[in-house]
């Protein structure tokens, strides 16, 4: 399907972004990435020590995939931590891309909106191309766009929860507010059907980790999500019918025999 996605001037064919943590083994991670047909993987500098011997195997595997890396600031809870981690990522991966996380709540792993906006403004001013992990809050989206973000990454539900799209109304409102900015559902998806629903709402991409990595068969699940993303996007572009309160016959009455 020739329906490219554009992030900060970079054209991608796949609309599925995949995380790289929690997989049973490096071999399964590599196979799952291949099955997903992704072109972008996220990696956390706080999970693996980039310069240490312990992290060499992981970084080697990521390099061998040839996929574009979207470093993230996962685990950062202050603006200073997030900005410092972003600087490390830019040096290590030679990329201006950064998935910005500033966590404000330990139970839900919800973003700190105030710290997120502050960090986004600093990094955008320094030339980073920021992908902010956020809630579906419209005012937060406004502030992030004002700060310079040209991609928004609202959650569907708390990280790793698998609950799907908790607030469809809020996500629809965000899509309507920003029709021309790429919107990526990040966090909370647990099943391929939920990813398809996100695309049917008009979202441009989804980012997954736990739903694939912790599945009974991560490789098969990666393939299933790839198919669901394509199906949902195709359905959105084909224009689904509007829901009705009453039935509408699909078989014409004209010409039917009456007794």
Catalytic residues: 99
Residues marked as binding for 1-deoxy-D-xylulose 5-phosphate? 160, 187-188, 209-210
* C-alpha closest to that of 83 among 101, 95, 65: 101
State the Cα–Cα distance between residues 118 and 83, nearest whole angstrom.
Answer: 10
- Please report how the helices 113-125 and 138-147 are oriented relative to each other, as an axis angle in degrees rounded to 10: 20
* Residue 12 CB coordination number (10 Å): 16
β-strand pairing of 153-154 with 129-134: parallel
Structural tokens at position 182: 């790429």
Measure CA of the first residue to CA of the last residue in the chain; give whole Å.
50
Structural tokens at position 25: 């083994």
How does DSSP assign 31-90, residue by residue?
Answer: HHHHHHT-SEEEEETTTS-TTSHHHHHHHHHHHHHTPEEEEE-TT--SHHHHHHHHHHHH
DSSP designation for 6: E
As beta bridge partners, residue 19 has 42
Q: Is residue 39 within 8 Å of residue 68, measured between CB atoms?
A: yes
Query: For tokens 């607030």, what's the residue?
Result: 167
State the Cα–Cα distance between residues 101 and 183, nearest whole angstrom.
Answer: 16
């Amino acid at each position: 399907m020739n329906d490219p996605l554009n992030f900060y001037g970079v054209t991608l064919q796949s609309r599925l972004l995949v995380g790289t943590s929690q997989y049973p083994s490096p071999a399964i991670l590599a196979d799952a990435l291949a099955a997903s047909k992704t072109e972008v993987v996220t990696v956390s500098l706080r999970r693996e020590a980039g310069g240490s011997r312990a992290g060499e195997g992981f970084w080697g595997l990521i390099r061998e995939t040839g996929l574009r890396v979207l470093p993230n600031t996962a685990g950062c809870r202050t603006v200073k931590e997030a900005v410092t981690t972003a600087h490390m990522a830019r040096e290590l991966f030679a990329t201006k891309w950064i998935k910005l996380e500033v966590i404000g709540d330990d139970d839900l792993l919800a973003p700190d909106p105030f710290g997120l906006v502050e960090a986004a403004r600093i990094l955008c001013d320094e030339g980073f191309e920021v992908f902010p992990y956020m809630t579906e809050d419209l005012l937060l989206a406004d502030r992030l766009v004002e700060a310079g973000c040209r991609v928004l990454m609202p959650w569907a539900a708390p990280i790793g929860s698998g609950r799907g799209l908790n607030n469809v109304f809020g996500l629809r409102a965000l899509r309507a507010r920003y029709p021309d900015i790429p919107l990526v559902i990040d966090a909370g998806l647990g099943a391929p059907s939920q990813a398809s629903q996100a695309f049917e709402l008009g979202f441009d991409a989804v980012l997954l980790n736990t739903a694939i990595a912790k599945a009974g068969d991560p490789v098969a699940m990666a393939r299933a999500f790839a198919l669901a993303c394509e199906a949902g996007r195709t359905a959105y572009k084909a224009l689904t019918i509007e829901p009705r309160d009453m039935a509408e016959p699909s078989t014409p009455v004209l010409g039917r025999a009456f007794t």
